[in-house]
Amino acid sequence: MENQAIALAEAVGLPFTTKRVHPRPPWTWLPPGLWPAPLAALGDDSDAIAPPWPDLLISCGRRSVPYALWVKRASGGRTRIVHIQNPQTRLSRFDLVAPPRHDHLRGANVVETLASLHRVTADRLAEQATRFAPELADLPRPLVAVLIGGSNACYRMTPAIVADLAAQLRRLCADAGVGLAVTPSRRTGEENIRVLRQALDGAPAVVWDFTGENPYFGYLGLADAIIVTCDSVNMVSEACATGKPVHVVQLAGGNRKFDEFHRGMREAGYTREFQGRLEHWRCRPPDDLARVAERVQQMLNPATAHAGAA
């Protein structure tokens, strides 16, 4: 969520400050639009919410909503507030809302997005590709970046699923002569990572071990194709932002919103389901971020405004 807010602030092109809020129960049990005293809910590990008030506040995530609304009131309405995702309160309370299409929100101040907002840019990919190229120099080409997520509220990733995926990846190396740049996530879990490493032992693959700088953007920049698990809208969106072929690995589980997201990405030509082989196609990356940023810029005077992200 933080990356989405920062991505929009960067795209708007104004200086910004990031604020992280960690509210406590019982406030968090209430709907986000009904918190009577949001500042009283802040934990000791939260950043201060205090003047001077920004010209723009970008919020993302349900628990940031009470603070965005509070700042707008405290600023006398001068602060424009933009919320990413579904704020789960009246849309009219915001100057702009940027929800995913699968939330089915409508309004004059709504800009729907198919993919999630992200920080993938051509310049960032090129810079990171140059930085990490030496680490992958010994791998054969074409190079496939493999982005591994993990279990969440909707999907399950088990050692058996990981073993099946790793077996497919090994066959891909043998049949297509590819090299693999694999980056698991914190959600992948120690047991799943152990299975992954054992199954790929001896294959032309590099598996990030969580030491040193995160190679995520470097792998995306260097890859000729990308394989990504279906559990993360952000990872799929970031992979598609490269314009390279993106193959999505299905996991056990899912729900209506995830199903709609993945169906929309397939129908738009951004992704295809991974079935053990690579397919080759090109597409123009989604332009959701540019559309949202343009609407935000229309509300502001870029010469004098400054932005805040929460």
The per-residue pLDDT for range 102-130, each reduced to its tens digit, is 999 999 999 999 999 999 999 999 999 99
Q: How high is the pLDDT of residue 278? A: 95
Burial of 112: CB neighbours in 10 Å, binned 0-12, 13-18, 19+? middle
| pLDDT band at residue 307 under the 50/70/90 scheme | low
CATH number of 122-273: 3.40.50.2000
And the tokens for 215?
Answer: 């190679």
Residue 92 CA to residue 193 CA, distance in Å, equals 45
Q: Which segments of the chain belong to CATH 3.40.50.2000?
A: 122-273
291's CB contacts (< 8 A; 6+ apart) are 111, 113
Find, among 157, 156, 152, the residue nearest to 193 by Cα: 157
Q: How high is the pLDDT of residue 300? A: 87
Residue 70 CA to residue 136 CA, distance in Å, equals 48
| pLDDT band at residue 78 under the 50/70/90 scheme | very high
pLDDT more than 90, % of the chain: 89
Q: How high is the pLDDT of residue 245? A: 96
